[in-house]
């Protein structure tokens, strides 16, 4: 499975746009890129997933360049409630497989 690298932590202020970049140099053709969010004392929850170019939903946008060796999770106008750990995963789209989480990026949003 492709290994991912993302910053350990980031700080932001309310109302700002936050971009968290994840590098996955060894991504394979069948791999998808998925982001999860985890609040303290809770299990992670799915935010967004993409294969290439740009994906947007009501929570975030995901930008994936043509070479797919990195991806950027974009959170528009963050609020205090976006303070959480964000995990980038790269996993096969095939029939079986495990889900490997890294250490994630701890985002702290300040007032």
Cβ distance to another protein smaller for residue 15 or 93? 93
- For 41, list phi and psi in degrees, rounded to 5: 65, 20
DSSP secondary structure letter of residue 80? G
3-state secondary structure of 26: coil
Stretch that binds another protein, among 10-18, 55-63, 75-83, 88-96 (CB under 8 A): 88-96
Main-chain dihedrals φ then ψ at residue 68, nearest 5 degrees: 60, 20
Q: Choose between 94 and 111: whose C-beta lies nearer to another protein.
A: 94
Q: List residues binding another protein (CB under 8 A).
A: 30-32, 34, 36, 41-46, 49, 87, 90-104
């Amino acid at each position: 499975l492709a290994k991912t690298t993302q910053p350990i932590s980031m700080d932001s202020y309310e109302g700002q746009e936050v971009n968290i970049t994840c590098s996955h140099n060894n991504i394979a053709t069948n791999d998808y890129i998925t982001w999860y969010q985890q609040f303290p004392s809770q299990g992670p929850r799915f935010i967004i997933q993409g294969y290439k170019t740009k994906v947007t939903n009501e929570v975030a946008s995901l930008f994936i360049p043509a070479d797919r060796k990195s991806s950027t999770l974009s959170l528009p106008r963050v609020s205090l409630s976006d303070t959480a750990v964000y995990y980038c995963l790269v996993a096969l789209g095939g029939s079986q497989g495990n889900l490997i989480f890294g250490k994630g990026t701890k985002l702290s949003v300040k007032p």
